[in-house]
Amino acid sequence: MIQNQIKTLLLISVLTGLMLGIGQLLGGNTGLTIALIFAIGFNGIMYFFSHKIVLFMYKAKEADKVKHKELYKTVKEISDLAAIPMPKVYIIPSEQANAFASGRNPKNAVVACTEGIMKILTPEELKGVLAHEISHVKNRDILITTIAATIAGVISYLAHMAQWAMIFGGGRDDDNSQNIISMLILVIITPIIAMLLQMAISRSREYLADESGAKISRNPKGLASALAKLHKGVQTHPLKKGDQATASLFILNPFSARGVFTLLSTHPPVEERIKRLNEMKV
């Protein structure tokens, strides 16, 4: 668990350094200031409103406390074990089996389950999934991944600025070939590096949520079994509506489980996650 925390810190530090370096290269102190303003602004918006946006996007409704009595009971049990306030519980009207957690902090968190996941998982498997999601809340992963996504977005924005600078003046000075090469690297390479770092952070937090969730529920094999079922379900019935940018919120990528390169995935390989969980001792 500590290794994943250290890895996340290092990756975010590299991503932040990359952003600040690009800002400095593109516009000196002014460029650096612009990058910081964008990072703070976007982070602020996403920090306060991301959970409302994603719930609206997937037409989630607050779960009925009578109809979903057992779901509420399980969420309350896990929240108590995790020593955090109980999140609000939502249901997503989708037959795909999946779940996610969101919210700016433990006091303002939500946990959402699809209708499909309620039908195919056993109580112990569902408990494992909910423990994973509540671990995201406890570990403040929503904030961490939002910061990573925002910084990566700022880097892409700055790269686009550099591209326009090249078009309207960067290539007019034949004696400035070194700067042109630097700008080409900025435009082409840095957004790719930023995206890879962002995906690595997301995968690291998934491993951490698996581990901490399994310790909370004291049943790693329950979560392992659930992941196997959910993986098969996503392969058979990937979501056709939604935003790929929200994929990292779900316990498994809801859009497609096929043909995704490991480095470009928001989630670690399911087989590796299951293997680690089955080897855990709690």
The pLDDT score that the predictor gives to residue 49 is 74
The pLDDT score that the predictor gives to residue 4 is 47
The pLDDT score that the predictor gives to residue 146 is 67
pLDDT, one tens digit for every residue, the chain (282 residues): 555 455 555 555 666 666 666 665 555 566 556 666 766 676 677 667 777 888 988 999 999 999 999 999 999 999 999 999 999 999 999 999 999 998 878 898 999 999 999 999 999 999 999 999 999 999 888 777 766 766 666 666 666 666 655 655 544 454 455 566 666 666 677 777 777 877 888 888 899 999 999 999 999 999 999 999 999 988 887 777 776 767 888 999 888 645 445 556 888 999 999 999 999 987
Closest CA to 266 of 122, 145, 154: 145
Contact partners, residue 111, CB within 8 Å, separation at least 6 = 75, 87, 88, 89, 90, 99, 100, 101, 130, 133, 134, 137
140: left (phi over 0), alpha (psi -120 to 50) or beta: left
Domain locations in the chain as residue ranges:
2-279
3-state secondary structure (DSSP) of residue 102: strand
| Integer CA distances (angstroms), 154 to 34, 58, 158, 188, 279, in order | 9, 26, 6, 15, 39
CB 280 within 8 Å of CB 211: yes
For 39-108, strand residue ranges (E) read: 61-62, 88-92, 99-103
Measured in whole angstroms, how far is the alpha carbon of residue 60 from the centre of its chain? 19
231-240 own/partner pairs: CB under 8 Å, 24+ apart: 231/257, 231/270, 233/96, 233/97, 233/98, 233/116, 233/120, 234/96, 234/97, 234/98, 237/95, 237/96, 237/116, 238/96, 239/94, 239/96, 239/98
Residue tagged active-site, from 125, 133, 206, 211: 133
14: left (phi over 0), alpha (psi -120 to 50) or beta: alpha
The pLDDT score that the predictor gives to residue 215 is 95
Give the DSSP H/E element, type plus range, for residue 81.
helix 69-82
Tokens of 2: 């500590």
d(CA 131, CA 162): 44
Tokens of 238: 């990937």
Closest CA to 229 of 135, 76, 124: 124
d(CA 230, CA 236): 10
The pLDDT score that the predictor gives to residue 28 is 58
Instruction: Confirm whether 133 is a catalytic residue.
Output: yes
Closest CA to 214 of 204, 226, 230: 226
